[in-house]
């Protein structure tokens, strides 16, 4: 059974590619594909180029592995810059242009490159292509114990500031938490493309701010950037869109070039001082518009509905007098509750894409619309929004619009935009990720015919391999049936359930059901292809149900606010209601219901088996929140523990929970229902999890064992909250499938 499950896992994950990023320039499309190498426990990247000619896409050659590359970018005229690592992980900058090439060792200037699509999304070229800026980690001084003996060699530090810090080897350095354990301080770096000189741009007080998202102002050497406040402490950053941040712009052009040479700080102005949150600055080509994502009052939840703003540039766009002193203009207001599933629910986006402006006053960006990843087109002048992804799916050769596998409900995501063409990916629970190009000028969509690649590398165990089953599983993905179901509470707040059925399933024969609430809680399960759940559907012949409960993104700000103080109640009620609905409709076997979830999804899984033990017969929980009072002092997001429990967190001072706070946190925690649990539980835990420390799962397992409940645990010593290292990911999915197969 185990060998079959492992083979099935590789077959399903090998059924399609995973496209991480891409670009389009002229007729050439470049894709970067992610490959999980289980044998080497490594995530690898391959690059492949395609020719986009008239009405078809054709490969320009086999994919090539990209080794130790943080970023590669091409200027409009064809100059290239690569940020990469050499021997011993030394950071190198390689510049190629008609004027010559440079390979520069920048290890004496800064630490590792930042290429995380949050603090940084690549490089920015000046309009004249003489300079490039990028984000890197600040170089740390060497640290030694008090007993370190100084070297007597001639290679001594050149200045007092370069002197090793004796006695600092074990000094604590605050960082930005989960996934950012080595990111404490960042810097903006400038490369002179002609001379090859690399210098830091001295900005603000780096003890007070962490900088990122740097962009050149068109036709000048000025820059804008986002600065996050470090005060009073750094809290977890990843998936936390509410951290205080502002957009700055440097003073006139001459100052930045002289400051880079002299080392003096560049004078900067805060353009969004009246905003609690402002990030992702983007200019149109002329510099007339500076657009950004923001929220004036902010929100205490970790995610919320965002607003798009712009500042109109005034003055001489080609010189130093060009200013952005106007008050920011709100383009799209906060949407509280959309009128119906087709109505715009607000913006939920990581950032405005690097090439987000597709005309002088139009921006494209990714957002989530209900349970569907979507591309939206926003006009700054008319303050209107168009769901561009619907226009794209209408032109793709997908399933005919129908009750099941509806083409309008496919998830579509933007990769890049250039010269009137939009590069995008699309997928669904029954279609692995594909890509295409939307030519807006000619109103034409060019889909990829077949993406000949792979997304997993693994040696099949055993001498005998059932190749027929492997082929069958890959082909079966396309025969999966799925549908989005819409619900509303008594106040009109929407929430969704996405039902996914195996091929050839019949509504007259109820199936075992796996209920899957998402994490967050202010995130979303979209209709995109998720290999792990397709694997469960196909290998176990079960129905899977995604739960987008009240509080999910994509349904308006009222939905998000409704969950604050109501975790363990509203989200539990929605999960139970959707489960009951699909049982009553004859899709699910009421005697064979299991639940799988990670993080807040694990929190809900633990709640469901505690509050409704007669319904949920088995659970698989990935890094679950189980005991909030125990978590509040150890997580990188203590504010989550307060806010979601309905308590107040002071973001400007120290916080220590009172006895009343602890009582409230316990009341909404799954451990308050642990005496009711009878379902067998599998726990998958990352020992390096900073978000939900794995002691949450350990304590929960010990409590269950003490009362005789069957518990099994997998602890991944080198993995964190996402459990996304290739071997961890593979082992946990096989373990989950085996656990579900055993008990339902």
Q: What's the whole-model pTM score?
A: 0.94
Residue given tokens 């740097």 in the structure block: 214
Q: List the Cα angle 196/198/204 in 5-degree steps.
A: 155
pLDDT of residue 254: 57
**Contacts of residue 438, Cβ cutoff 8 Å, sequence gap at least 6:** 388, 391, 392, 395, 421, 422, 424, 444, 445, 446
pLDDT of residue 160: 46
Q: List the Cα angle 468/474/479 in 5-degree steps.
A: 110
CB 452 within 8 A of CB 432: no
Residue pLDDT, tens place only, 526-555: 999 999 999 999 999 999 999 999 999 999
Question: Per-residue pLDDT for 635 more than 90?
Answer: yes
pLDDT of residue 461: 54
Q: By CB neighbour count within 10 A (0-12 exposed, 13-18 middle, 19+ buried), where does 101 fall?
A: exposed
Say yes or no: domain 484-743 is CATH 3.30.70.100: no
CB 512 within 8 A of CB 743: no
Q: By CB neighbour count within 10 A (0-12 exposed, 13-18 middle, 19+ buried), where does 509 fall?
A: exposed
pLDDT tier at 486 (50, 70, 90 boundaries)?
very high
DSSP assignment of 160-202 equals GGGS-EET-TT-------TT-TT-S-EEEEEEETTT--EEEE-
- Indicate the range of 102-106, 475-479, 569-573 predicted with least confidence: 475-479
Q: Considering the chain, what is the average pLDDT of its residues? A: 91
What pairs with residue 187 in β-bridges?
136
CA-CA distance, 399 to 422, in Å (whole number)? 22
**Domain spans, the chain:** 484-743
pLDDT of residue 471: 75
Residue given tokens 């195996």 in the structure block: 502
CA-CA distance, 297 to 272, in Å (whole number)? 12
CA-CA distance, 633 to 447, in Å (whole number)? 50
Residue pLDDT, tens place only, 577-623: 999 999 999 999 999 999 999 999 999 999 999 999 999 999 999 99
pLDDT of residue 400: 58
């Amino acid at each position: 059974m185990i060998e079959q499950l492992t083979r099935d896992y590789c077959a399903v994950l090998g059924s399609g590619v995973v496209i991480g990023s891409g670009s389009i320039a002229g007729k050439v499309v470049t894709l970067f594909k992610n490959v999980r190498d289980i044998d080497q426990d490594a995530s690898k990247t391959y690059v492949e180029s395609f020719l986009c000619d008239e009405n078809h896409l054709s490969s320009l050659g086999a994919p090539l592995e990209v080794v130790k590359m943080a970023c590669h970018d091409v200027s409009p005229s064809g100059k290239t810059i690569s940020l990469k690592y050499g021997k011993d992980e030394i950071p190198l900058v390689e510049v190629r242009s008609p004027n010559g090439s440079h390979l520069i060792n920048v290890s004496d200037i800064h630490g590792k490159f930042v290429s995380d699509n949050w603090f940084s999304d690549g490089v920015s070229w000046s309009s004249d292509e003489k300079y490039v800026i990028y984000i890197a980690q600040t170089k740390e001084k060497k640290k030694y114990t008090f007993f370190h003996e100084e070297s007597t060699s001639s290679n001594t530090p050149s200045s007092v500031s370069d002197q090793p810090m004796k006695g600092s080897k074990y000094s604590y350095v605050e960082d930005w938490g989960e996934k950012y354990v080595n990111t404490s301080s960042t810097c903006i770096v400038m490369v002179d493309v002609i001379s090859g000189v690399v210098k830091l741009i001295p900005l603000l007080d780096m003890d007070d701010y962490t900088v990122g998202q740097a962009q050149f102002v068109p036709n000048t050497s000025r820059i804008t950037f986002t600065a996050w406040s470090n005060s009073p402490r750094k809290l977890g950053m990843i998936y936390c869109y509410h951290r205080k941040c502002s957009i700055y712009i440097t003073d006139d052009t001459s100052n930045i070039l002289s400051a880079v040479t002299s080392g003096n700080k560049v004078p900067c102005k805060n353009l969004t001082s009246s905003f609690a949150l402002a990030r992702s600055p983007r200019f149109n080509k002329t510099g007339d518009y500076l657009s950004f994502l923001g929220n004036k009052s902010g929100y205490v939840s970790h995610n919320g509905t965002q607003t798009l703003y712009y500042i109109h540039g005034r003055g001489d766009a080609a010189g130093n007098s060009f200013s952005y002193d106007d008050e920011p203009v709100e383009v799209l207001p906060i949407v509280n509750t959309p009128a119906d599933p087709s109505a715009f629910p607000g913006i939920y986006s990581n950032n405005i894409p690097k090439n987000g402006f597709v005309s002088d006053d139009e921006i494209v960006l990714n957002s989530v619309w209900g349970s569907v990843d979507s591309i939206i087109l926003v006009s700054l002048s008319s303050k209107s929004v168009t769901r561009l992804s619907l226009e794209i799916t209408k032109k793709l050769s997908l399933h005919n619009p129908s009750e099941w596998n509806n083409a309008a409900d496919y998830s579509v995501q933007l990769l890049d935009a250039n010269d009137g063409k939009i590069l995008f990916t699309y997928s669904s629970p029954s279609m692995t990720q594909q890509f295409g190009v939307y030519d807006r000028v000619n109103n034409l969509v060019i889909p990829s015919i077949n993406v000949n690649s792979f997304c997993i590398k693994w040696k099949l165990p055993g001498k005998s391999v059932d190749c027929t089953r492997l082929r069958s599983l890959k082909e079966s993905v396309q025969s999966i049936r799925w549908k989005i179901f819409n619900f509303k509470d008594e106040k009109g707040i929407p929430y969704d359930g996405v039902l996914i059925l195996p091929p050839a399933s019949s509504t007259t024969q109820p199936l075992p059901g796996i209920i899957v609430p998402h994490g967050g809680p202010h995130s979303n399960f979209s209709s995109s292809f998720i290999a792990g759940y397709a694997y469960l559907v196909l290998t176990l012949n079960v129905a899977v149900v995604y739960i987008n409960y009240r509080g999910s993104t994509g349904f308006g700000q009222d939905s998000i606010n409704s969950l604050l103080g109501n975790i363990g109640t509203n989200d539990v009620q929605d999960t139970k209601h959707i489960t009951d609905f699909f049982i009553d409709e004859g899709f699910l076997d009421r005697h064979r219901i299991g639940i799988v979830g990670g993080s807040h999804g694990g929190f809900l899984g633990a709640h469901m088996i505690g509050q409704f033990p007669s319904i949920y017969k088995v659970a698989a929980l990935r890094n679950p929140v189980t005991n909030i009072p125990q978590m509040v002092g150890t997580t990188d997001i203590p504010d989550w523990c307060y806010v979601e429990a309905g308590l107040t967190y002071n973001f400007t001072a120290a916080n220590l929970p009172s006895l009343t706070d602890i009582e409230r946190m316990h009341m909404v925690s799954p451990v308050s229902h642990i005496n009711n649990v009878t379902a067998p539980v599998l726990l998958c835990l990352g020992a390096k999890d900073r978000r939900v420390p794995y002691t949450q799962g350990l304590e929960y397992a010990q409590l269950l064992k003490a009362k005789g409940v069957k518990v099994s645990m997998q602890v991944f010593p080198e993995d964190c909250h996402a459990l996304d290292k290739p071997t961890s990911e593979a082992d946990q999915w096989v373990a989950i499938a085996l656990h579900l197969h055993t008990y339902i």
